[in-house]
Amino acid sequence: MRETTLRDVADLAGVSPRTVSNVVNGYARVTDATREKVERAIAQLGYRPNVLARNLATGRSGQIVVVVPYLDTPYFAELLQGIIPAARKLGYNVLVDQTDGDREHEGELIGRGSRRFLFDGMIFSPLGLSQEDLAVRDPDLPLVVLGERVSDGTFDHVGIDDVAASTDAVTHLFSLGRRRIAAIGDQPYPTGEAAQLRTQGFRAAHAAHGRPVDESLIISTARFNRADGATAMAALLDHADPPDAVFCYSDLVASGAIHTLHQRGLRVPEDVAIIGYDDIEDGRYSSPTISTIQPDKKAIAQLAVERLIKRITSTEPVPGVELRAEHRLIARESTLGIS
């Protein structure tokens, strides 16, 4: 049994497809009498428009896609809580796609792929793709990039000032009297730009305090997960001269690091102070609660959505801009102790 189409409705109502379309979309004025006739037919037939056909005809879908490396990273999950309502309010539905940070998959998505037509625009958080890879993107796809890449002028970029934020974090540790500060999360390779900016801030804070950086206290990790933090912390504790504080490049890393410290019977912050990054909910409830850098997620979400939709709706080419959201340091028990 075939789906009922707009034409079926038109036939039953005794009007033309044009009129039915008008009624369905609230276009043009339609006589109340006609409208009612049509609506009755729609109800009777259980008609629903085929959104695919509509999209094909109009060339727009009303959907935007948010592409993230991992959906189980709380930072993204929390960011989406801002993005989704912001987009809905502006009449767009949000769908989410996970890439696993896979370079190829990411490339397909921003490239001139055929899925292009499914979405009016994309908010993209790259992981596997280097800055250069971004260049091969589809120039027709309205795009906003999240994170640490710099716009090439054809898309917008929104993030926070990672270097400054990282400097703040490490400065906080210095101000607490810590002197041997480690860093967990560096990624010294092309796609590790986010991590490298944080390392840069780590160094800047040392410089500002006239302290040399002990390179052996900078631990690289493949990702920013709990497991990475746990492993790296273990390595630091096996160091001949272990740190008295650690700057972790995410709250998940911090959570893993704290886990290892507890396993080894060490206290946080008495033995080792820990500060994270992202301000995920987890850190507000864990024991100890985790000091962190709090990016203004709502602002990031709002900016990203606004820019994207401006890009979608504008007929002129929109120049790409760099948008910077605020951040602040939130000091909690993992550095201050229990008050």
Residues that bind a copy of itself (CB under 8 A): 46, 48-56, 61, 63, 65, 71-72, 74, 77-78, 80-81, 84, 93-98, 112-118, 226, 230, 255-256, 258-259, 262, 281-282, 284-287
State the nearest-atom distance from the C-beta of 238 to a copy of itself, in Å: 20
Please, which residue, 205 or 252, has the CB nearer to a copy of itself? 252
15 contact, one of a copy of itself, DNA, none, CB 5-8 Å limit per kind:
DNA
Q: Which residues pair with 294 in a beta bridge?
A: 328
Q: How far apart are CA 3 and CA 214, in angstroms?
A: 69
CA proximity to 148, closest of 130, 173, 171, 175: 130
State the nearest-atom distance from the C-beta of 241 to a copy of itself, in Å: 26
Please, which residue, 81 or 175, has the CB nearer to a copy of itself? 81
State the nearest-atom distance from the C-beta of 24 to a copy of itself, in Å: 9
Q: How far apart are CA 118 and CA 115, in angstroms?
A: 5
97 contact, one of DNA, a copy of itself, none, CB 5-8 Å limit per kind:
a copy of itself
**Count of CA atoms in the C-beta half-sphere (13 A) of 147:** 22
- Residues 152, 133: contact at Cβ < 8 Å? no
Residue 61 as a binder of DNA (CB under 7 A): the answer is no
Q: How far apart are CA 18 and CA 20, in angstroms?
A: 5
* C-alpha gyration radius of the chain: 26
Q: Which residues pair with 245 in a beta bridge?
A: 181, 273
331 contact, one of DNA, a copy of itself, none, CB 5-8 Å limit per kind:
none
Which pair of tokens denotes residue 117?
């037509």
b vs e for 304-325, b when ≥16 Cβ sit within 10 Å of the residue's Cβ?
bbbbbbebbeeeeebebeebbb
- Residues 232, 257: contact at Cβ < 8 Å? yes
In the list 25, 81, 216, 287, the residue contacting DNA (rule: CB under 7 A) is 25
State the nearest-atom distance from the C-beta of 312 to DNA, in Å: 15
Q: Which of residues 3-22 bind DNA (CB under 7 A)?
A: 3, 5-7, 14-19, 21-22
Residue 99 as a binder of DNA (CB under 7 A): the answer is no
71 contact, one of a copy of itself, DNA, none, CB 5-8 Å limit per kind:
a copy of itself
Three-state secondary-structure class, residue 38: helix
CA proximity to 259, closest of 290, 226, 284: 226
Sort strands 327-330 and 292-295 into parallel, antiparallel or unpaired.
antiparallel
Residue 30 as a binder of DNA (CB under 7 A): the answer is yes
19 contact, one of DNA, a copy of itself, none, CB 5-8 Å limit per kind:
DNA
Please, which residue, 61 or 191, has the CB nearer to DNA? 61
Residue 50 as a binder of DNA (CB under 7 A): the answer is yes
Q: How far apart are CA 147 and CA 136, in angstroms?
A: 18
Which pair of tokens denotes residue 284?
């507000």
Please, which residue, 36 or 326, has the CB nearer to DNA? 36
In the list 1, 26, 33, 338, the residue contacting DNA (rule: CB under 7 A) is 33
Residues that bind DNA (CB under 7 A): 2-3, 5-7, 14-19, 21-22, 24-25, 27-31, 33-35, 47-50, 53-54, 56-59
